[in-house]
């Protein structure tokens, strides 16, 4: 079967295109994140004891961990929109960072003194609310990444979806850090992981279906 | 391709023509002959649709090779969903070279699977036996033959995805 008719049709349809740019995509994401933060601050989302919280190691632990996860996830996603780039190295790095973050959280937790009942520390009622808010806050970035991935040409849609989900989830959690009054590493490790895990998993399942090419 | 991104139709026609010939050779070495034309056309459409992702700094060959490989994996996955019917014993054919190369490539990939999976894929997908015939020949139940084909082809897709090729 000759491909000449197809080539003729595609040539006739040819229009100039704007070349894909990871920097432009990163800028779009950055603007979206800043906008979301401004909206949240204007709604009075900041925790009232922020100055005190900023003196605690656990606050910086969760902020730094989520920032690194978000940056690696977003970079991996945007790089993998080029078909010659694989998201796998970035995903491996993400796995190591998550493990390192949990280990760091454990060390900070071990330094705390005083016996506290595990169930009380976990506080499931607030924990589930936190997880739900993380999911809600991650939606704008998840949608933006979905649009970018759909326009790109990832040759590993599942890997790219994991990276995008991780980035969106980490962003949702990072935005929530401003409002969350809980600093117990155990609480953060359990409920933040739950919220981030749901976002990552749903993105991993849905994005490859929506971005087939 | 960089000129085509700016709307140069002559350059685009030229690059698609070259790409078409290369893709035909690429898929002839990796797919059964009946799937080659569709794979070439599908890949050309993908090239057209995703031409904005081409970066001249990285060269055209790696870019189109990555897209072709993606489409090849897509075809391997599609084989899981397609029932193949057996062919008549005598069919006129012109040239066996590419078919032999493709069969050799698939044979090499099949060595990466469990024997039970490789055997039923070989019988049903490459030699055209029905599920029932393959079940009789291998001693597996018909349901197990289907499961082994499904899992085996899924494993093949994953193996190719993680970097194995047949060159």
Q: What is the ipTM of this complex?
A: 0.82
List the 101-160 stretch of B: residues with Cβ below 8 A of A.
Answer: none
Assess whether pLDDT exceeds 70 at residue B84: no
Tell me whether residues A84 and B62 touch, CB distance under 8 A. yes
Contact across the interface for B5 and A16, Cβ inside 8 Å: yes
Kindly tell me if the per-residue pLDDT of B23 is higher than 60. Answer: yes
User: What pTM was computed for the model?
Assistant: 0.77
Do residue B20 and residue A7 have CB atoms under 8 angstroms apart? yes
Tell me the nearest-neighbour CA distance from B134 into chain A, angstroms. 32
* pLDDT band of A145, cuts 50, 70, 90: very high
Tens digits of per-residue pLDDT, A2-18? 788 999 999 998 999 99
Share of chain B above pLDDT 70, in %: 81
B7 vs B107, residue with greater confidence:
B7
Choose between B13 and B155: higher pLDDT.
Answer: B13
Give the burial class of B97: count Cβ atoms within 10 A of its Cβ; 0-12 exposed, 13-18 middle, 19 or more buried: exposed
Structure confidence at residue A170 (pLDDT): 97
Q: Residues B108-157: pLDDT tens digits?
A: 788 888 888 888 888 887 777 888 888 888 888 888 888 888 888 888 87
Please name the member of A11, A83, A151 whose beta carbon is closest to the beta carbon of B63.
A83
Give the one of A19, A82, A84 whose C-beta lies nearest to B5's C-beta.
Answer: A19
Alpha-helical segments (H) within chain A: 4-12, 22-42, 50-53, 57-79, 88-110, 118-122, 124-151, 157-177, 185-187, 193-210
* A-chain residue closest to B158, CA distance: A156
């Amino acid at each position: 079967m000759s491909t000449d008719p197809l080539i003729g049709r595609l040539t006739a349809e040819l229009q100039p295109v704007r070349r894909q740019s990871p920097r432009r995509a990163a800028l779009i994401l950055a603007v979206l994140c800043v906008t979301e933060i401004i909206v949240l601050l204007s709604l009075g989302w900041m925790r009232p004891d922020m100055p005190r919280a900023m003196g605690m190691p656990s606050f910086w632990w969760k902020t730094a961990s989520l920032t690194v996860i978000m940056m690696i996830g977003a970079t991996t996603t945007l790089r993998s929109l080029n078909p010659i780039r694989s998201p796998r190295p970035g995903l491996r790095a993400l796995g190591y960072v998550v493990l390192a973050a949990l280990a760091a959280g454990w060390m900070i937790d071990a330094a705390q003194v005083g016996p506290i009942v595990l169930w009380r520390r976990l506080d499931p009622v607030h924990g589930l609310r936190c997880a739900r808010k993380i999911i809600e806050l991650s939606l704008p970035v998840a949608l933006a990444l979905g649009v970018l991935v759909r326009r790109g040409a990832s040759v590993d849609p599942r890997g790219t979806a994991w990276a995008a989900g991780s980035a969106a989830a980490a962003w949702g959690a990072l935005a929530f850090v401003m409002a969350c009054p809980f600093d117990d590493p155990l609480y953060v490790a359990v409920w933040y992981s739950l919220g981030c895990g749901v976002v990552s998993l749903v993105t991993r399942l849905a994005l490859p279906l929506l971005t087939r090419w | 391709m960089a000129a085509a991104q700016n709307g140069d139709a002559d350059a685009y026609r030229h690059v698609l023509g070259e790409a078409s010939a290369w893709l035909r050779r690429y898929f002839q070495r990796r797919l059964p002959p009946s799937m080659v034309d569709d794979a070439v056309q599908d890949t050309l459409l993908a090239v057209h649709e995703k031409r904005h992702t081409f970066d001249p700094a990285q060269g055209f060959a790696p870019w189109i090779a990555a897209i072709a490989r993606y489409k090849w994996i897509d075809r391997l996955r599609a084989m899981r969903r397609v029932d193949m019917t057996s062919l008549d014993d005598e069919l006129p054919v012109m040239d066996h070279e590419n078919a032999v190369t493709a069969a050799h490539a698939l044979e090499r990939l099949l060595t990466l699977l469990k024997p039970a999976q490789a055997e039923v894929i070989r019988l049903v997908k490459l030699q055209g036996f029905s599920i029932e015939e393959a079940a009789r020949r291998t001693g597996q139940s018909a349901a197990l033959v289907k499961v082994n084909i499904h899992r085996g082809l899924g494993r093949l897709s994953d193996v190719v995805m993680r970097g194995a090729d047949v060159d």
